[in-house]
């Protein structure tokens, strides 16, 4: 499967009880894992919440990136590619954007493994 077939990286599986599958937008692998979650609050409230493998961080001094809540989930695939799903909510509308990230060499930071 060519990478052009994986944009957007969320693929609907007909009749699936699990929901839609997320694929790597770089290599189309279906083996992708979350490695970090980040949430910035809406408005002028400074702060960010970050969930990593080793801890949960609350940064109180960081200013929001814009108006509305922004949630980012960073994924890695088994080939080591990384990408971010950005969800931004503003004035009743919801936006989803995908961004490629620098190549990561290992899967040691994924948050679902123990």
Would residue 54 count as lying in a domain? yes
pLDDT of residue 3: 43
Would residue 51 count as lying in a domain? yes
Would residue 82 count as lying in a domain? yes
User: Three-state secondary structure along the chain?
Assistant: CCHHHHCCCEECCCCCCCCCEECCCCCCCCCEEEEEEEEECCCCCCCEEEECCCCEEEECCCCCCCCCEEEEEEEEECCCCEEEEEEEEECCEEEEEEEEECCCCCCCCCCCCC
Query: What does pLDDT average to over the chain?
Result: 77
- Read off the pLDDT of each residue in 12-37 and give the average, rounded to a whole number: 79
Q: In terms of residue numbers, what domain contains 39?
A: 30-101
Would residue 91 count as lying in a domain? yes
Would residue 56 count as lying in a domain? yes
20-24, 35-39, 50-54, 86-90 — most confident range: 35-39
Number of domains into which the chain is organized: 1
Would residue 81 count as lying in a domain? yes
């Amino acid at each position: 499967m060519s990478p052009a077939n994986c944009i957007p990286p969320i693929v609907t599986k007909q009749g699936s009880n699990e929901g839609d599958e997320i694929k790597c937008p770089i290599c189309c692998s279906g083996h992708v894992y979350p490695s970090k979650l980040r949430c910035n609050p809406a408005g002028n409230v400074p702060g960010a919440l970050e969930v990593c493998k080793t801890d949960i961080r609350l940064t109180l001094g960081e200013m929001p990136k814009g108006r509305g809540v922004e949630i980012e989930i960073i994924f890695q695939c088994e080939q080591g590619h990384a990408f971010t799903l950005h969800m931004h909510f503003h004035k009743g509308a919801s936006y989803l954007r995908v961004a490629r990230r620098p190549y990561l060499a290992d899967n040691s930071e994924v948050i679902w493994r123990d």
